[in-house]
Amino acid sequence: MKVLVQKFGGSSVADLECMKKVRAKVLDAVAQGYKVVVVLSARAGQTNKLVEMAYQWSDEPNPAEYDALLATGEQESIALFSMLLNDAGVKARSMVGYQVPVLTDNSYGSARIISIEAGHFLSELERFDVVVMAGFQGYSMENRITTLGRGGSDTSAVAIAAALSAEIGTVDCHIYTDVDGVYTTDPRMVPKATKIPKISYDEMLEMASMGAKVLQIRSVEFAKKYKVPVWVRSTFTNDEGTLVTQEDESMMESVMVSGVAFDKDQVRITILGVPDQPGVSAALFAPLADHEILVDMIVQKASREGITDMTYTVSHKDLKRALVYTEKVAEEIGAQGIEYDDQVAKVSVIGVGMRNHSGVAAIAFSALHKANINILMISTSEIKISCLIHANELEKAVRTLHTTFGLDGE
């Protein structure tokens, strides 16, 4: 059996006209001899409407019932879409989370998939040409409806592809979005950005976490774990899109840097005059973690006379709370004071090629220096170099690095 998974988001199935366009994509795949698994989100706006209703009913909606309510959104879209397919003479049926079943844990609102029963699903694929599956939702061992959290439909699609792959060999997963693939950087900022034909899971993870919001991070982690080939494609074109797949020799040889990502949502907080004693970092970051404040970059200045500065970044939404806890700790540990700067941004170059090519960092720093861009903080990983810079220099920095690493298109 030749199976293809196609996932369409909420804006692709917003109304009847949109759904008809999506149907054309599915009919194409059927005509090519595929048994097709279509994974759908709720129609655009529907989930927000349900969330609004929940909060009209309750200031703090019961989490399990909240999920049961939200799950009606995909049930609606998959039933309507299956009607359209049947009208086109295709044998199709819908399946909500418990019908698959997609077994999850009990973390309502952000449930994790435990397993997907592929056997029953395959027998339904024998009886039907297309199975239209509800994204975003699952079913817990306690016989309750769960949801995977916003954007969870990507994860649903990759997960069903993974489950089917284990039974019948590699099943490709096509994620349809409103862009036609993954770009070397944001084309709205750099018009010379080019589409990347092939990218590794690790690079995609770095790109996604940096704000290239094409794929939900969890879905990429899932794809990586189960080696599911994921194609990012556009609902509105016939372009091949970008293949997200395992890293291979050819990829590592060809390019040092695959893309330049950036993140405007950064605030830098500095604690001045920190006594350089063991345990100081823990004292500072433990309360932030306890209050679920995500710290991104961390830098500790070289100590001078037993005194140092600690600098870290958080997102704008966490600034106020971060300042409260940081001030408290600063006082406790006898620091001289704190200051913050919300006019900063992060630029990163990403590429598995860095593993084999030394000097990528040096090239990046030198290019920024030549462009008169001041680097405020640096952090590096095996396949990424990130620099914090002044926000008003971000665009120049992205363009500079994009050109420097030979990513500019025509």
Using CA atoms, how far apart are residues 345 and 316, in angstroms rounded to an integer?
11
Using CB under 8 A, pick the residue from 18, 27, 51, 68 that binds its own copies.
Answer: 68
Q: Which two tokens stand for residue 166?
A: 């284990």
Q: What are phi and psi of 41, to 5 degrees?
A: -90, 175
Note whether 40 binds its own copies by CB under 8 A.
no
Nearer to its own copies, 82 or 270 (CB): 82
Piece in contact with its own copies (CB under 8 A), picked from 75-83, 234-242, 256-264, 370-378: 75-83
Q: Minimal distance in Å, beta carbon 83 to its own copies?
A: 4
Nearer to its own copies, 84 or 383 (CB): 84
Q: β-strands 3-8, 172-177: how paired?
A: parallel
Piece in contact with its own copies (CB under 8 A), picked from 25-33, 78-86, 221-229, 231-239: 78-86
CA distances from 208 to 1, 2, 180, 202, 242 (A): 33, 30, 15, 10, 14
CB 383 within 8 A of CB 206: yes
Using CA atoms, how far apart are residues 41 and 47, in angstroms rounded to an integer?
9
Note whether 21 binds its own copies by CB under 8 A.
no
Q: Minimal distance in Å, beta carbon 57 to its own copies?
A: 5
Note whether 160 binds its own copies by CB under 8 A.
no
Nearer to its own copies, 145 or 398 (CB): 145
Q: Minimal distance in Å, beta carbon 94 to its own copies?
A: 5
Note whether 120 binds its own copies by CB under 8 A.
yes
Using CB under 8 A, pick the residue from 53, 114, 286, 294 that binds its own copies.
Answer: 53
Piece in contact with its own copies (CB under 8 A), picked from 49-57, 169-177, 189-197, 358-366: 49-57
Contact residues for 154 (Cβ-Cβ < 8 A; gap 6+) = 7, 135, 175, 215, 216, 218, 219
Using CB under 8 A, pick the residue from 62, 343, 356, 381 that binds its own copies.
Answer: 62
Determine the size of the site formed for its own copies (CB under 8 A): 40
Q: Minimal distance in Å, beta carbon 54 to its own copies?
A: 7
Using CB under 8 A, pick the residue from 16, 119, 126, 292 that binds its own copies.
Answer: 16
The three state secondary structure string of 112-165 is CEEEECHHHHHHHHHHCCEEEEECCEEEECCCCEEECCCCHHHHHHHHHHHHHH
Neighbour count for residue 342 (Cβ, 10 Å): 12
Q: Which two tokens stand for residue 118?
A: 């592929």
Using CB under 8 A, pick the residue from 14, 27, 51, 54 that binds its own copies.
Answer: 54
Note whether 44 binds its own copies by CB under 8 A.
no
Neighbour count for residue 155 (Cβ, 10 Å): 28
DSSP 245: E
Query: Where do contacts with its own copies occur on this chain (CB under 8 A)?
Result: 16, 19, 50, 53-54, 56-62, 64-66, 68-69, 71-72, 75-76, 78-80, 82-84, 86-87, 92-94, 96, 98-99, 120, 124, 143-145
